[in-house]
């Protein structure tokens, strides 16, 4: 019997429907006002909400509650407390107060703080975010919260995201009111985060030390077939994968996560899930939950979900496309061109604000997606290049050209598609193609930021986009605020024209994968920050510190703390990878290689002892593998020595650059020799599953 999807959807979420049913009318109205207007929530309201939330949670099998937050680890954190409260006679009641709902106090000393907190300074606070609904998971009521230190510094990703959303709302509303849209009182940033991932058999995964400790394979010869036949993309779902996706959808729907699209991706064993967009902070919460639920559901199917950006060499890695837009409280999408984009003043000014933001803060856009894992993807002909540019498409580019040059824009007519088969229905083609090589592409009524890695939180990139666009709108407002209403249209036209001339260098509609684009981008003055150590120092430049501090997104100390945390994460990631690779080579691969060469030598000796056998082929193979053994051993010793050197470097940026230039190079050189030797090694001698098993066994 089919499950009733509308009844299933959001069944474990304390959403608006539940709040309307459970809360007194005055309390419900007060809470809705807080959510809608971002106003302070009074304690008496919080007490009533807490009682209703507790009763609903217990009805649905919950026994505990937790303040669920997003520290700077890149993961989520939670501490579970039961609802029980002892009373007389050794009995208990199930209790939950407004104070417990509004504020929690986890130990802040063991989370990354980048120097904001000393180890002995343990106190930290979690604060309820009423704009993101509570939910039930595994018998616990989860309450989305912000996380700050005893002195109020943000120690998480949610707090600055909420700040950036409020800042953009304020600046966008000012512009709209200036343009005569006085009914607009706020805007929301909306996000839809497409999620790519790999599935591998759990039993095989457990035999790979590298997958367990690093999330990616550090050794592994390429299989005879990869993705070159392009037969996996959108291909028929295998039964085991289909069953996983079915269960995943249901688990996500229960939590109110609008999972919409699922399909096979380009690489073997790779897949994608895409949700319907939501407001940015809820979308961030949902994406963190999605990654967690993906892994949890995979366990039930004896699978493992890999979210590393590059788990396998030689095939595409996984990204996460961040679809971003702005919507007014009157339900108008500010990035919808309408029927005549050339005449749509409102659209053009917001479009130019985004272009200005991306051009002036491309360094922040790049560093917002910087990580050791994502460095393997960017610029590798499977993801956008590390150069940040904007794709607008032919029609919008022509509109901007006509404004810049003062020429008449000839609107493109809708063209009916001719498929050559009369039985097929008629439809009109879009006025522009899509560009999968662009890092920041306009896709009809939103921008798709395609540079994110699959394991990343989408909070960081959206903080940057929101803040940079808010800054652009603030500068536009300064230019227009003294304009008379009757002159507004002309002044906006001139403003847009000036902005086009200044910022058009960031617009590129061509193939971002080519070497020619790299050269052209350099001539245009665009940055090409190819690695994380190249990108992260941009965080602490005066221009970027001024941006964040002037809008109240980060304090200067919060910026430096995040800079240190990101550098430390990079160094720690590569350190773990280097140690893991050394361990695999020393304890697994070299013994297996020696065992096989010994068997070859014995075979050659045996054949020669019983007759006049030349054994030329076996001797040649033995010589090749013996030489490989010596090379691998030497390279492993170099990796170990260089890793020890890296450990001794005190300056974090210097250490990160050393890991990037030396340790990564050591690892790649070692892997190249080992993978070549693996091609000659029978599977029965290999001490762990090879690529053929990992990628094609499901």
In whole angstroms, what separates CA 595 from the centre of its chain?
43
In contact, 347 and 332? CB cutoff 8 Å: no
- Asked if the model's pLDDT at residue 417 lies above 80, the reply is no
For residues 544 and 363, the answer to whether their CB atoms sit within 8 Å is yes
Phi then psi dihedrals of residue 247, to 5 deg: -65, -35
Q: Which two tokens stand for residue 267?
A: 């690489």
Residue 346 tokens read as: 């409102």
Q: What is residue 446's DSSP assignment?
A: S
Residue 585: pLDDT over 70? yes
Query: E strand or H helix at 441, and its extent?
Result: strand 440-442
pLDDT at 89 over 80: no
Residue 553: the pLDDT is 97
- Residue 540, pLDDT > 60, answer yes
Q: How far apart are CA 424 and CA 416, in angstroms?
A: 12
Across residues 168-193, what is the average pLDDT?
A: 95
Q: Once rounded to an integer, what is the mean pLDDT over residues 465-473? A: 98
What integer is the mean pLDDT of 134-162?
91
- From the number of C-beta atoms within 10 Å of its C-beta (0-12, 13-18, 19+), residue 538 rates as buried
Q: Which residues have CB under 8 Å from 186's CB, separation 6+?
A: 36, 37, 169, 173, 328, 329
- Of residues 319, 281, 329, the one with CA closest to residue 462: 281
Residues 352 and 500 sit within 8 Å (Cβ to Cβ):
yes
Task: Using pLDDT thresholds of 50, 70 and 90, give the confidence band for residue 322.
Answer: very high
Q: In 62-212, where do the E strands start and end?
A: 64-68, 80-82, 84-86, 92-94, 103-104, 124-128, 135-137, 140-149, 187-201
Confidence band of 310 (pLDDT split at 50, 70, 90): very high
| Domains delineated in the chain | 5-156 (3.10.20.70), 164-419+426-554 (3.30.590.10), 570-696 (1.20.120.1560)
- pLDDT confidence tier of residue 432, bands split at 50, 70 and 90: low
pLDDT tens digits, one per residue of 635-682? 999 999 999 999 999 999 999 999 999 999 999 999 999 999 999 999
Q: What is the DSSP letter of 319?
A: B
Q: Which of 230-234, 353-357, 388-392, 442-446 has the lowest mean pLDDT?
A: 230-234
Helix (H, G, I), strand (E, B) or coil at 71: strand
Cα–Cα nearest to 146, from 157, 137, 136: 157
What 1-4 contacts at long range (C-beta under 8 Å, 24+ apart), as own/partner pairs, is: 3/250
* Overall residue count recorded for the chain in this entry: 698
Return the axis-axis angle of helices 616-647 and 556-584, rounded to nearest 10°. 150
Who contacts 30 (Cβ-Cβ below 8 Å, separation ≥6)?
41, 42, 45
CA distance 536 to 552: 21
Structure confidence at residue 427 (pLDDT): 44
Q: What is the pLDDT of residue 343?
A: 57
The mean-pLDDT minimum among 131-135, 230-234, 462-466, 474-478 falls in: 230-234
pLDDT in tens, 209-224: 999 999 999 999 998 8
Report d(CA 197, CA 199) in Å as an integer. Answer: 7
Instruction: List all residues 6 or more positions away from 235 whose beta carbon is below 8 Å from its beta carbon.
Output: 264
Of the CA atoms within 13 Å of residue 222, those in its CB half-sphere come to 11
Exposed e or buried b for every residue in 53-84, given b needs 16+ CB within 10 A? bbebbeeeebebbbbbbbbbebebbbeeeebe
**pLDDT at position 514 over 70:** yes
The region of weakest confidence among 126-130, 433-437, 456-460, 662-666 is 433-437
Write down the residue that tokens 């560009």 correspond to.
Answer: 435
Grade residue 415 by pLDDT with cuts at 50, 70 and 90.
low
Give the pLDDT band (50/70/90) at residue 429.
very low
Token pair for 149 = 């230190």
Helices H, strands E: what count in the chain? 24, 17
Mapped onto helix, strand or coil, the DSSP state of residue 155 is coil
How far does Cα 67 stand from its chain's mean position? 23
Mean pLDDT, the chain, integer: 90
* DSSP secondary structure letter of residue 537: G
pLDDT at position 1 is 39
Question: What is the rounded average pLDDT of the residues 447-466?
Answer: 96
Q: Are 690 and 681 in contact (CB under 8 A)?
A: no
Beta strands in 202-231 (DSSP E): none
For position 154, what pLDDT does the model report? Answer: 87
User: Quick one: residue 78, left, alpha or beta (phi over 0 = left, psi -120 to 50 = alpha)?
Assistant: beta
pLDDT in tens, 225-262: 887 777 788 788 999 999 999 999 999 999 999 999 99
Using left for φ > 0, alpha for ψ between -120 and 50, and beta otherwise, residue 693 falls in alpha
Which distant-in-sequence residues (6+ apart) come within 8 Å of 275 by Cβ? 192, 193, 194, 252, 257, 258, 259, 260, 283, 286, 290
- Residues of the chain with pLDDT > 90: what percent? 69
Residue 2 has pLDDT above 60, yes or no: no
- On whether the CB atoms of residues 488 and 181 are closer than 8 A, the answer is no
Q: Scanning the structure block, which residue is given the tokens 């949670």?
A: 57
Under 8 Å CB-to-CB from 342, ≥6 apart: which residues?
Answer: 399, 402, 403, 409, 411
pLDDT tens by residue, 565-579: 999 999 999 999 999
Q: How many CA atoms lie within 13 A of 553 on its CB side?
A: 27
Question: Residue 121: its pLDDT value, please?
Answer: 58
What's the rounded mean pLDDT across residues 23-27? 91
SS3 513: coil
Task: Report residue 631 as tokens.
Answer: 């090379």
What local confidence, expressed as pLDDT, does residue 481 receive? 94
Mean pLDDT of 381-385: 74
């Amino acid at each position: 019997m089919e499950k009733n999807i509308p009844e299933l959807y959001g069944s474990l979420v304390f959403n608006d429907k539940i709040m309307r049913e459970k809360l007194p009318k005055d309390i419900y109205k007060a809470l809705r006002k807080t959510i809608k207007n971002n106003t302070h929530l009074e304690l008496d309201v919080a007490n009533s909400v807490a009682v209703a939330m507790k009763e609903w949670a217990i009805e649905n099998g919950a026994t505990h509650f937790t303040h669920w937050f997003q520290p700077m680890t890149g993961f989520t954190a939670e501490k579970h407390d039961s609802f029980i409260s002892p009373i007389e006679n050794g009995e208990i009641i199930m209790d939950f107060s407004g104070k417990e709902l509004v504020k929690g106090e986890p130990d802040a000393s063991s989370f990354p703080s980048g120097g904001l907190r000393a180890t002995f300074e343990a106190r930290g606070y979690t604060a309820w975010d009423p704009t993101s609904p509570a939910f039930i998971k595994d018998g616990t009521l989860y309450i989305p919260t912000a996380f700050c230190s005893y002195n109020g510094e943000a120690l998480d990703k949610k707090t600055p995201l909420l700040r950036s959303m409020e800042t953009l709302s304020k600046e966008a509303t000012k512009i709209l009111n200036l343009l005569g849209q006085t009914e607009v009182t706020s805007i929301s940033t909306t996000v839809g985060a497409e999620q790519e991932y790999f599935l591998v058999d759990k039993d095989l995964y457990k035999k790979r030390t590298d997958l367990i400790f690093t999330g990616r394979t550090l050794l592994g010869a390429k299989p005879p077939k990869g993705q070159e036949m392009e037969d996996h993309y959108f291909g028929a779902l295998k039964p085991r994968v289909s069953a996983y996706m079915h269960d995943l959808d249901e688990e996500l729907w229960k939590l109110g996560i609008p999972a919409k699209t699922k399909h096979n991706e380009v690489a073997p064993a790779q897949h994608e899930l895409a949700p319907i967009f939501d407001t940015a902070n809820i979308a961030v919460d949902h994406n963190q939950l999605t990654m967690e639920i993906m892994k949890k559901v995979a366990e039930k199917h004896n699978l493992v979900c890999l979210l590393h950006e590059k788990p396998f060499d030689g095939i595409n890695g996984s990204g996460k496309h961040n679809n971003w837009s702005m919507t007014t409280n009157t339900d108008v999408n500010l990035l919808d061109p309408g029927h005549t984009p050339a005449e749509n003043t409102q659209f053009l000014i917001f479009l130019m604000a985004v272009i200005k933001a991306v051009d002036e803060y491309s360094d922040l856009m790049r560093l917002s997606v910087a990580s050791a894992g994502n460095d393997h993807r960017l610029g590798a002909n499977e993801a956008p290049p590390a150069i940040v540019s904007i794709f607008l498409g032919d029609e919008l580019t022509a509109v901007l050209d006509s404004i810049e040059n003062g020429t008449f824009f000839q609107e493109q007519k809708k063209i009916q598609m001719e498929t050559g088969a009369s039985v097929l229905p008629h439809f009109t083609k879009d006025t522009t193609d899509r560009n999968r090589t662009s890092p920041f592409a306009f896709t009809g009524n939103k921008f798709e930021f395609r540079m994110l890695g699959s394991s990343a939180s989408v909070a960081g990139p959206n903080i940057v986009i929101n803040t940079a666009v808010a800054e652009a709108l603030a500068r536009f407002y300064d230019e227009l605020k003294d304009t008379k209403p009757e002159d507004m249209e002309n002044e906006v036209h001139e403003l847009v024209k000036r902005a086009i001339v200044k910022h058009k260098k960031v617009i590129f509609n061509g193939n971002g994968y080519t070497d020619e684009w790299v050269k052209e981008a350099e001539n245009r003055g665009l940055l090409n920050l190819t690695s994380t150590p190249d990108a992260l120092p941009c965080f602490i430049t005066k221009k970027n510190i001024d941006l964040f501090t002037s809008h109240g997104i980060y304090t200067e100390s919060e910026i430096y703390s995040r800079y240190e945390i990101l550098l430390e994460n990079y160094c720690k990631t590569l350190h773990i990878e280097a140690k893991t690779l050394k361990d695999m080579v020393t304890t697994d691969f070299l013994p297996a290689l020696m065992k096989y060469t010994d068997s070859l030598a014995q075979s050659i000796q045996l054949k020669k002892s019983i007759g006049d056998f030349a054994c030329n082929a076996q001797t040649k193979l033995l010589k090749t593998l013996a030489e490989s053994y010596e090379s691998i051993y030497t390279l492993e010793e170099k990796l170990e020595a260089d890793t020890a050197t890296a450990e001794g470097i005190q300056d974090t940026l210097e250490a990160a650059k050393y890991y990037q230039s030396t340790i990564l190079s050591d690892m790649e050189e070692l892997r190249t020799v080992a993978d070549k030797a693996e091609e000659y090694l029978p599977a029965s001698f290999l001490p762990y599953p090879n690529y053929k098993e990992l990628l094609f066994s499901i």
